[in-house]
Structure 1
Amino acid sequence: MLEVKNLVKRFGNRTIIDDLSVQVKDQEILSVVGPSGAGKTTLLRCITGLEKVDSGEFYWDNQKFDPTDSNPKNMIIGVVFQDYQLFPNLTVLDNITLAPRLVKKESLDELEKSASELLARLGLEGKEDLYPYQLSGGQKQRVAIVRALAMNPKVLCYDEPTSALDPELRDEVAKIIIDLKQQGMTQLVVTHDMDFAEKIADNILRVEQLK
């Protein structure tokens, strides 16, 4: 279980998150919803270690961890960014295996085999040698998910996963997230799309802009 306790985040004199505590149980999906400026993405950036918090603690299975720990071997959280952040000069396979290659002691053959299996699970079989510009928005989204999964995170976080997708692709992403839950993945989804949130989530955290 992922636990965030008494999280406080400020930018200058402005408090964005004030004493927030939240839990995400194993194999559950938590959707974080709220208006623009309410701190949804800031919360995600704190949990993923992209922002340092002013105060608060993070626990995985009752063990305290530091999300800003730069050692990938200690990684608890994986993240799928809103703009995917794929390297345009690398193939799909190289995008997925780059970080594991730098961290894991597995052979490149083993990493590529694992990446190909993940791609097949998400309907991207045969796309290994394509470059990001050759992919649709939905395919880029799935490659970004595979890249995050390749590091074997305990929790997978998404920042607005449907913001650039049409309704059909939105349903496709929902299916992927639900399928990953059934395979044992704990997930946190930041979204402005309440219908999407209600479709996928076991629990919904509503955040409001602080006055």
Structure 2
Amino acid sequence: MAMLEVKNLCKEFNGRPILKGISFTLKDGEIMTIVGPSGAGKTTLLRIIAGLETQNSGEILIDNKKYDRGKVGVVFQDFNLFPNLSVLQNVTLAPRLVLKESDTEADQNAKDWLEKLQMHGHENQYPFQLSGGQKQRVAIARALAMKPKILCYDEPTSALDPNLRQEVEKMILNLKKTGLTQLIITHDLTFAKNVADQVLKIKPLNEG
């Protein structure tokens, strides 16, 4: 059974078409990369799948059911960590507030993900004390702490030094081993091919 189905998705801004007729199927545990130049609508597509934008037409199904926002996690390009919260507080905030986890449960789950993402020992640091790669790992741990079925990334290699790309590839492929379904927006074709089961190419509509 398909995990994620996108059917004939269309999106306009102020009457200008951004996405037209986008359709694909992403199965359980697979990785899809979505590639294309700036202005092609990649991030808009991700935001629609993540429930942050609404489409004009078309539908999104998860497990053959209408879209459920709680099943999709997002790692943003600029990470969006709370600067006034420690690493551990960043990861545990939403599980406590939204999933109603106890402090003990939220802390343990957060520490488990931070350890898997090689961030053990950084729990009490603040975002300004972290490198770009470390911030990204905290953002991934925060998304995974919400127990999503699908994890979406917006340009996961763009804010990192080129020599860290392989580290990101390894991390994403290790998460795949846990059965996590992943959807990745990227302009990096080499990275896209290295991690993906499927590559979806989209281009600006004014290019035909």
Band the TM-score falls in, shorter-chain normalisation: over 0.9
TM-score by length of 1: 0.95
Q: Is the 8 A contact 1:41 1:159 kept in 2?
A: yes
Aligned counterparts, 1:117-156, within 5 A? 117-156=112-151
Give me the whole-angstrom Cα distance separating, in 2, the residues matched to 1:51 and 1:141: 23
Q: Is the 8 A contact 2:62 2:68 kept in 1?
A: no
Give me the whole-angstrom Cα distance separating, in 1, the residues matched to 2:79 and 2:34: 19
Q: Which segment is superposed worse, 164-173 or 22-31? A: 164-173
Identity over aligned pairs, percent: 61
Give me the whole-angstrom Cα distance separating, in 1, the residues matched to 2:144 and 2:13: 31
Aligned counterparts, 1:105-184, within 5 A? 105-184=100-179
Post-superposition Cα deviations, 1:183-206, rounded to whole Å, max 9, x if no partner, equal 100000000000000110000000
Alignment RMSD, CA only? 0.9
Aligned equivalent of 1:71 = none
Q: Is the 8 A contact 1:58 1:66 kept in 2?
A: no
Structure 2: gaps of 5 or more residues: none
Aligned counterparts, 1:75-86, within 5 A? 75-86=70-81
Structure 1 segments of 4 or more deviating over 2 A? none
Post-superposition Cα deviations, 1:124-173, rounded to whole Å, max 9, x if no partner, equal 00111000000000000000000000000000000000001112211111
Post-superposition Cα deviations, 1:105-129, rounded to whole Å, max 9, x if no partner, equal 3310111011011100000001110
Give me the whole-angstrom Cα distance separating, in 1, the residues matched to 2:64 and 2:77: 30
Q: Which amino acid aligns with 1:123?
A: Q
Q: Which amino acid aligns with 2:101?
A: E
Aligned equivalent of 1:98 = 93
Query: Number of residues paired by the alignment?
Result: 204
Q: Which amino acid aligns with 2:169?
A: A
Alpha-carbon distance, 1:66 to partner: 4.8
TM-score by length of 2: 0.96
Give me the whole-angstrom Cα distance separating, in 1, the residues matched to 2:24 and 2:107: 36
Post-superposition Cα deviations, 1:14-50, rounded to whole Å, max 9, x if no partner, equal 1011121111111000000011101111100110111
Aligned equivalent of 2:29 = 27
Q: Is the 8 A contact 2:48 2:55 kept in 1?
A: yes
Q: Is the 8 A contact 1:119 1:143 kept in 2?
A: yes
Asked if residue 37 in structure 1 is aligned to residue 32 in structure 2, the reply is no
Alignment partner of 1:53 out of 55, 59, 63: 55
Q: Is the 8 A contact 1:34 1:208 kept in 2?
A: yes
SS at match of 1:15: strand
Q: Which segment is superposed worse, 79-88 or 14-23? A: 14-23
Q: Which segment is superposed worse, 120-129 or 58-67? A: 58-67
